[in-house]
Amino acid sequence: MVSVFLFVPNLIGYSRIFLALAAFYFMPSSPKLATGLYLLSSFLDSFDGHAARLLNQCSRFGMMLDMLTDRCATMCLLVNLSLLYPRYVFLFQLSMSLDISSHWLHLHRSVILPQIHPGDTGLVPSLNIHFFQLLLYCSFPICAIKTAISVIHLITAARNMAAMDQAEGEQGLASRKQD
């Protein structure tokens, strides 16, 4: 079997990282080029998921790669927006915190412990929303929807995690860990 690192969706993932890095490198000097690079990176995001399913090359590594690229790109964009609009820094900080915490919990719930929800592919259902990321942080309605999804993910994942803790405690696993 071909190495997971060489799966086609993961190769697309590497190119997304490269494009995003280039976008942020050029952002201060050539905003238009940067926007193009960023949009291309976001656009490829809807590609790698399809490629993974089509070629039967879904992998945990690929999901992590995808997720981390998205999160880091979002963070970097919000840093830029914070510098551009210092008045709204607090909003951007809230947005970053929600973005990280909701995806963190959601990903751990779906990737690390997939047996809890058999049949759940663990793929985050908001891939297409990501394509409009630039729009997202500029237009309120879409931003509100994305925020609502994040809040739901955060609450759902937190409840699932707590349920796992509860179940483990009842099976005596929690006490075994402390030995």
Rounded (to 5) percent helix, strand, coil in the chain: 80, 0, 20
Nearest-approach distance from CB 36 to ligand NAG, in angstroms: 11
Is position 70 annotated as part of the catalytic site? yes
Nearest-approach distance from CB 27 to ligand NAG, in angstroms: 4
The neighbour count for residue 55, using CB atoms within 10 Å, is: 11
Which residues of the chain form contacts with ligand NAG (CB under 6 A)?
A: 27-28, 31, 34, 80, 83-84
31 vs 169 by CB, closer to ligand NAG: 31
* Residue from 93, 87, 76 nearest 134 by CA: 76
30 vs 166 by CB, closer to ligand NAG: 30
- Asked whether the beta carbons of 165 and 174 are under 8 A apart, the reply is yes
Q: And the tokens for 143?
A: 């931003």
83 vs 144 by CB, closer to ligand NAG: 83
Whole-Å CA distances, 160 to 105, 118, 122 = 9, 14, 14
From the list 70, 99, 120, 165, the catalytic residue is: 70
Nearest-approach distance from CB 88 to ligand NAG, in angstroms: 14
- Residues noted as catalytic: 70
